[in-house]
Amino acid sequence: MQNFKVSNNDFSFKSTTHGYKLVFCGSTYVKKTELPEIPIDYFNILGLASIADGKFQPNVLVDVVRGVTEILQTQINSDNNKSKFVFMITDMSKIVVQCTLWGNFALQFYEYYKNHGEDVNIVVLLQNARIKAAQGGFPLNVSNAWSGTKLIINDISNVEIKKLKDSLNAELPKLSSSSLQVETTQTSQYSDFDKFIWKAEVISLAEIAMLKQETTCVTIAKLEKFEVGNSGWYYDGCAECTKSVAVKDGKLKCYANHISSEPVPRYKLEVLGVDGKFKSHFVFWDSDCFKLIGKSALQMKNELVEAGEDNPLEFPFGLDAMLKKELAIRAVFQPKFNRLSVISFKDDEDSRKKVKDTFKSHEDVSKIPISLSSSQDDMKSLSEPLSVSADFDPNAANSVMTPCKRINPEASEDVESVQLSSTKTMKPVKKEDGR
């Protein structure tokens, strides 16, 4: 090897404790040379006793050759990187150590085991393996490193494996692949809809109204109308991402420090979503609004400018394209803002039906009155006048919302029972007339 650099051996996981490494550069020249005194396969094998006693350096990769006594877990995923193969290795003393193979190494072992595992004993050699001391409930474990590891299984042309096989053959238990239990987690088996409701609470707006903490949920709502705030229908976004931009040091920058020559308008629309007599506030973000409206915010803004509209806060009629639609919506309920921040939505009948069917399965539970501790008689007297004056809003005086008031006693916790009982003596109809 000619023309190379020498630097400190600063790998976070190293296969040698030597203080230096040789680094290839553009002019490095390598020639094959016969040097019989240096073996091609050199193994730095660490015994299980040393591993079990903690006599190893956690950042130095070692070679381990041992017999397999037991398969603990086989998890094969269509995405190779998530495959996992866990087994125990022994040197036939009393020491057994757990070994975990990930990704392609797990697949390599699994394939071998599936094809040869019938009543055979297995010796593995893991070259450049990583050892992790027991920690926080996880046992001492030997595993492959993310790079540089080589796995050799039962190959007796390898001297170390041959040596161990000869000495262990009689004692090592024979493993049978017929007892192999494989957990397959193929991501491809999940449908689009499964992903849509993945790790989310599928609940109706009635149930969402009772949420107290941040929750990812999937629900059904009809988009009734825009909640017009002070910020208009779009914000000034970054040209490279969807974050908002502001002038910093004389330049337009987003939070991620991208520099934009001019801001790109991005939709942010707060919409009142309604399901029967329940309603919630949804915030739809740029890409979902674009899908529902069919025009980018930039396009929409340019059209406004061309039409001579100079008030950027004015809601263009084109936005109405996203209203009156009933959607299945995946969103995060944010108790701090009492709103649902939309992650994605589905507009097809099939998805809506599936979501509604899931609601039905817990309908019985949601019928139980939650916040009313009063007696049955009280409840009857309450629910009567309330359902008659279904248009009554306790906050009618300063409310800008129109239909679908949330006043059913089952509805929510934000209509306190105090308010509910006070409605008995108030004359809601007259108040309504006064508007």
**Residues at the site binding Zn ion, with contacts judged by CB under 5 A:** 238, 240-241, 243, 254, 256, 258
CB atoms within 10 A of CB 8: 8
- Report in angstroms how near the CB of residue 250 gets to Zn ion at its nearest: 17
Angle at 53 (CA atoms; ends 49, 58), nearest 5 degrees: 105
Query: Which residue's CB is nearer to Zn ion, number 238 or number 322?
Result: 238
- Report in angstroms how near the CB of residue 263 gets to Zn ion at its nearest: 11
Query: Which residue's CB is nearer to Zn ion, number 241 or number 396?
Result: 241
CB atoms within 10 A of CB 216: 16
Query: Which residue's CB is nearer to Zn ion, number 59 or number 287?
Result: 287
Query: Which residue's CB is nearer to Zn ion, number 133 or number 246?
Result: 246
Q: H-helix or E-strand containing 36?
A: none
Angle at 328 (CA atoms; ends 314, 357), nearest 5 degrees: 150
- Report in angstroms how near the CB of residue 259 gets to Zn ion at its nearest: 9
Query: Which residue's CB is nearer to Zn ion, number 116 or number 258?
Result: 258
Neighbouring residues of 229: CB distance < 8 A, sequence distance ≥ 6 = 270
Distance linking the first and last C-alpha atoms of the chain:
92
- Report in angstroms how near the CB of residue 287 gets to Zn ion at its nearest: 15
- Report in angstroms how near the CB of residue 242 gets to Zn ion at its nearest: 8
Q: At what angle do helices 297-306 and 286-293 cross, to 10 degrees?
A: 60
Torsion sign over Cα 383, 385, 391, 397: negative
| Rounded CA separation 235/268 (Å) | 7
- Report in angstroms how near the CB of residue 253 gets to Zn ion at its nearest: 8
Neighbouring residues of 149: CB distance < 8 A, sequence distance ≥ 6 = 61, 105, 126, 127, 128, 129, 130
Angle at 140 (CA atoms; ends 134, 145), nearest 5 degrees: 110
Q: What is the CA radius of gyration of the chain?
A: 33
- Report in angstroms how near the CB of residue 267 gets to Zn ion at its nearest: 16
- Report in angstroms how near the CB of residue 236 gets to Zn ion at its nearest: 11
Query: Which residue's CB is nearer to Zn ion, number 114 or number 243?
Result: 243
325 neighbors 222 (Cβ within 8 angstroms): yes
Query: Which residue's CB is nearer to Zn ion, number 192 or number 262?
Result: 262
Query: Which residue's CB is nearer to Zn ion, number 78 or number 287?
Result: 287
66 neighbors 124 (Cβ within 8 angstroms): yes
| Rounded CA separation 210/337 (Å) | 14
